[in-house]
């Protein structure tokens, strides 16, 4: 009713419908934590393509298994990635010193030896010249050049026009570098006098090279673990709004031999990562140790023992999935020779591709789950070998003849037959996490609302509409909505004691689709007609 009815006439008032649309959250945002040649450190950066990774983190690098994992993710259908670059505490950024009345010191935008391939140049031919002999001597053009790969005549250029030495100017150099450059920043105060031009009268550019950049000490697994209070390492993901999959490639790759060897992620890092995934409603994709496949005769025993050594068990293991074996792929940085790589980036891309094509309730496995860009598998398993690993919750990667190499397993690490867990299958667990996160975010409006039947009816209406939409997409079992899901929010779920405590209880049940893991076809020979 209007607040005051003061005059005779018609009053119009809008009445809220009570409909608050719930939107499903993303299901395949993949977080990567590892080493990179460049880019911000201990910060989660959202990327939408591998070109973004090349611009922000330097592209493929022999010493960075994460660079290959991100590449494989996008090659296999990934869309959104959160990348956290870890760096040693003593890593340093290179500096470029441009001469002048007072030298201008620039620093590389991030720490690392990459800054040694950064160079700069200055010219005074700005677009704000005031005429011959009357130019604005506080302005100049700054050119930056970066060589992504040493020894190759390939460069990335940036030109910052008409930058100023005056702090109150909109084109003040530190501000322009912060806004427009991905290569450099300004250290301390900018000198009042502009730098000396490094471009000759004939147009020859005399580039001033950077110096002093360092990657610091060798990275250790403690760098992956990081510090929760300082939000370093994997804890940098605490600042991210949402991620669904977590990939942690090895930090160290030894390329002195072929195939390459890896210092694999230890069990304590996997355990910390799993705890984070449980907290954030995400799935951890666990890589195998390539050593499991050597010698081939012991590969199955090594895989079984290696799975136990990870110590990823208990109810938390529902949020992890292990894939075996490692992959054989072409390495463009090693003369296109075939080398060994971890499967997590490829698998994350396949999961993202399956979510888009079929939905989070479809198992990311089968003949459609092809491993793009993979030349071979470290070991080719047959049906009997697959049958020994599958009951242990180890998802196998298989070569299936003309169908190529595919993912041939869809179990969580809680999916061992002996565990008899309700979240045995990966799509069931991921659907549950999707529902939990979507309902958590979609019912925030109910906080502090009057806790009585009108609120309960609104909750039933909105949550029921969301579940009905998923049912129509084929997310649940059952021929009717009654068989597929239920939403309860009434005086039976929320008693007067709950109301007195400020508690509203909503019960949402769903009948998940489980993959047809074993297809049994019975064939019977007909005996023919028996005359009577």
CA distance to 236, 281, 289, 352, 494, per residue, from 45 (Å): 10, 20, 28, 18, 42
Which residues, 6+ apart, have CB-to-CB distance to 514 below 8 Å?
425, 427, 428
First vs last Cα of the chain: how many Å apart?
87
pLDDT higher than 70, residue 130: no
Which residues, 6+ apart, have CB-to-CB distance to 84 below 8 Å?
31, 32, 33, 34, 42, 43, 44, 45, 233, 234, 236, 237
pLDDT bracket for residue 128 (50, 70, 90): low
Q: Give the residue among 263, 281, 410 at the shortest CA–CA distance from 342.
A: 263
Q: Give the residue among 316, 336, 246 at the shortest CA–CA distance from 275.
A: 316
Is residue 124 within 8 A of residue 141, CB to CB? The reply is: yes
Q: Give the residue among 85, 79, 80 at the shortest CA–CA distance from 59.
A: 85
C-alpha to C-alpha distance for 67 and 432, rounded to whole angstroms = 31
Q: What is the pLDDT of residue 18?
A: 77
Helices H / strands E in the chain, number of each: 12, 22
Q: Taking residues 101-108, what's their average pLDDT?
A: 92
Q: Give the residue among 243, 230, 254, 246 at the shortest CA–CA distance from 312.
A: 246
- For 332-376, how does the pLDDT look when each residue is reduced to its tens digit (9 = 90+)? 999 999 999 999 999 999 999 999 999 999 999 999 999 999 999
Q: What is the pTM of this model?
A: 0.92
What residue segments make up the domains of the chain, in order of their start? 30-88+217-428, 95-209, 455-532
C-alpha to C-alpha distance for 143 and 199, rounded to whole angstroms = 10
pLDDT higher than 70, residue 134: no
- For 419-448, how does the pLDDT look when each residue is reduced to its tens digit (9 = 90+)? 989 999 999 999 999 999 999 999 999 999
CATH of range 30-88+217-428; options 3.20.20.220, 3.40.50.11780, 3.30.300.30, 3.90.400.10: 3.40.50.11780
Q: What is the 3-state composition of the chain as percent helix, strand, coil, each rounded to the nearest 5?
A: 30, 20, 50
């Amino acid at each position: 009713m209007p607040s005051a009815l003061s005059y005779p006439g018609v009053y119009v008032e809008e009445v809220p419908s009570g409909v608050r649309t719930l939107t499903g959250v993303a299901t395949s945002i993949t977080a990567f934590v590892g080493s990179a040649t460049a880019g911000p450190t201990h910060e989660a950066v959202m990327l939408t393509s591998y070109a973004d990774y090349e611009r922000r983190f330097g592209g493929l690098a022999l010493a960075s298994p994460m660079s290959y994992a991100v590449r494989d993710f996008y090659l296999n259908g990934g869309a959104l990635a959160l990348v956290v670059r870890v760096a040693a505490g003593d890593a340093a950024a290179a500096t470029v010193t441009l001469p002048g009345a007072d030298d201008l010191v620039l620093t590389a935008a991030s720490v690392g030896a990459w800054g040694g391939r950064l160079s700069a140049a200055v010219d005074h031919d700005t677009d704000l010249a005031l005429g011959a002999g009357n130019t604005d001597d506080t302005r100049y053009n700054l050119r930056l050049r970066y060589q992504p790969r040493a020894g190759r005549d390939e460069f990335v250029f940036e030109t910052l026009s008409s930058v100023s030495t005056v702090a109150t100017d909109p084109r003040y150099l530190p501000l322009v570098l912060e806004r427009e450059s991905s290569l450099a920043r300004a250290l301390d105060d900018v000198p009042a006098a502009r730098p000396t031009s490094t471009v000759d009268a004939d147009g020859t550019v005399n580039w001033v090279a950077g110096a002093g950049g360092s990657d610091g000490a060798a990275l250790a697994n403690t760098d992956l673990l990081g510090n929760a209070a300082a939000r370093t390492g994997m804890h940098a993901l605490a600042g991210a709004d949402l991620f669904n999959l977590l990939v942690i490639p090895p930090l160290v790759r030894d390329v002195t031999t072929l195939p390459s060897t890896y210092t694999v992620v230890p069990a304590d890092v996997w355990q910390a990562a799993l705890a984070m995934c449980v907290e954030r409603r995400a799935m951890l994709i666990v890589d195998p140790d390539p050593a499991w496949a050597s010698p081939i005769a012991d590969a199955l025993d090594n895989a079984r023992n290696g799975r136990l050594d990870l110590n990823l068990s208990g109810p938390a293991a529902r949020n992890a999935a292990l894939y075996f074996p490692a992959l054989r792929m072409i390495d463009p940085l090693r003369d296109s020779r075939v080398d060994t790589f971890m499967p997590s980036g490829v698998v994350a891309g396949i999961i993202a591709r399956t979510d888009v094509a079929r939905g989070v309730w479809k198992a990311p496995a089968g003949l459609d789950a092809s491993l793009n860009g993979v030349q071979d598998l470290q070991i080719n398993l047959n049906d009997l070998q697959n049958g020994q690993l599958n009951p242990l919750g180890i998802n196998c990667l298989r070569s299936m003849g003309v169908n190529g190499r595919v993912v041939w397993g869809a179990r969580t690490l809680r999916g061992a037959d002996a565990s008899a867990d309700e979240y045995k299958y990966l799509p069931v667990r991921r659907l549950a996490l999707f529902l939990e996160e979507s309902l958590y975010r979609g019912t925030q409006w109910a906080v502090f609302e009057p806790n009585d039947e009108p609120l309960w009816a609104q909750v039933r209406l909105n949550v029921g509409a969301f579940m009905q939409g998923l049912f129509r997409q084929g997310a649940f079992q059952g021929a009717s909505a009654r068989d597929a899901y239920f939403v309860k929010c009434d005086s039976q779920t929320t008693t007067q004691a709950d109301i007195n405590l400020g508690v509203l209880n909503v019960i949402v049940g769903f009948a998940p689709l489980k993959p047809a893991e074993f297809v049994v076809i019975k064939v019977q020979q007909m005996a023919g007609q028996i005359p009577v």
